[in-house]
Amino acid sequence: MLGSFMMDLITRAPRRPVAGETLIGTGFSQHLGGKGLNQAVAAARSGAHVRMIGAVGDDDYGRQFLQRLDDERIDGARVMTTARGTGVGLPLVEPGGENSIVVVPRANLAITPEDVRAAASMLQSSDVVLLQQELPLDAIAEAARIAHDAGVTVMLNPAPVLEGTRGLSGLVDILVPNEPEARSLTNDPSGTAEAVGKALLDEWDLGRVVLTLGPAGALVVDRDGATPVRAHAVDAVDTVGAGDAFCGSLAAGLARGDEFPSAVRYANVAAALSVTRAGGADSVPTYAEVSELMSG
Ligand code: ADP
């Protein structure tokens, strides 16, 4: 896994301030996040042996991330500590739940293709390499190329979509976008989710696309057709990080040798459980919790 670390500093306020205004907020909380950390924790709690490549700053936030990796039994030997500060995410949440977010990636932007090459043997000896896009695209591309050339399954969660993301086509086996991401990555964005999935399969030369559809579940598209997976019914409390829970759990399922349809069913239930709890990485369930729900 190559991924990001962002300390989320969440502010609640009655509304967004206008230019030049100071506004009194109503709440504040701080969570360890970033799509990389969230997905790594999801995979680890699903029983995978996770090894992570990434970068934090030489500061208190960075130390908190390294401690969290230890606590979750994630191998952080390839997580660099850089002179740039740890990445931060600054969401402002309005009373209706509407978000506006500033993300300052800082240390996450320090990762270079050379750093990735230094960890090549780790990527080559993995069952699945899981990637997202809160890092420099050239480093992501290098990880995809190394894994692809070694015959390792490459899974990409193309979030956020970057200019140049399409350059990764041909290196990815499984693409896991949400619906807006899926539409922005095809030449033919206007059709049904199934049509978009099929277009992505061809344009990207993929083995599979898994479109995540929020409360509507997911849609798996491969050469045999499209298979909908209905969402597991839950009372949603906080959908932040649902996609991360889904991607990390799916990668873990595949790494432990599950057939694709059962790995997707597992991820779908894990993601549903995560939306019943607040937080990103904090809200991710364990293998035991997901299994219990699936067998019940
Ligand atoms: P993202 O967080 O990346 O936008 P989605 O919103 O598509 O991703 O959610 C990812 C997955 O989380 C879905 O495919 C589904 O399995 C699960 N999920 C999301 N919202 C709900 C919900 N309200 N109820 C049950 N499952 C949900």
Give 110-150 pLDDT, tens digit per residue.
999 999 999 999 999 999 999 999 999 999 999 999 999 99
Neighbour count for residue 155 (Cβ, 10 Å) = 25
Binding residues for K(+): 238, 240, 274, 277, 279, 283
d(CA 268, CA 274): 10
Ligand 1 mean position to 224 CA, how many Å?
24
**Does residue 173 fall inside a structural domain?**
yes
Q: Which domain holds residue 126?
A: 35-86+106-295
Q: Which of 127, 202, 244, 282 is flagged as catalytic? A: 244
Give me the pLDDT at residue 109, please: 97
Give me the pLDDT at residue 295, please: 87
Give me the pLDDT at residue 282, please: 85
Which are the contacts of 189, defined by CB distance < 8 A and separation ≥ 6?
183, 196
How many domains, the chain?
Answer: 1
**Does residue 24 fall inside a structural domain?**
no
As a residue count, the chain comes to: 296
Q: What is the residue whose two structure tokens read 């995979």?
A: 43
With a cut of 70, list the residues of the chain below it in pLDDT: none
Q: What is the residue whose two structure tokens read 């409360």?
A: 215
Task: Decide the pairing of beta strands 87-93 and 153-156.
Answer: unpaired
Give me the pLDDT at residue 125, please: 98
**Does residue 6 fall inside a structural domain?**
no
Burial (CB count <10 Å: 0-12, 13-18, 19+), residue 43: buried
**Does residue 7 fall inside a structural domain?**
no
Give me the pLDDT at residue 237, please: 85
* Residue 155: CATH number of its domain: 3.40.1190.20
244 is known as an active-site residue: yes
Q: Which residue's CA is the closest to the ligand 1 atom numbered 26?
A: 272
**Does residue 132 fall inside a structural domain?**
yes
**Does residue 80 fall inside a structural domain?**
yes
Burial (CB count <10 Å: 0-12, 13-18, 19+), residue 14: exposed
Q: What is the residue whose two structure tokens read 């956020």?
A: 160
The whole-model pTM stands at 0.96
**Does residue 202 fall inside a structural domain?**
yes
**Does residue 17 fall inside a structural domain?**
no
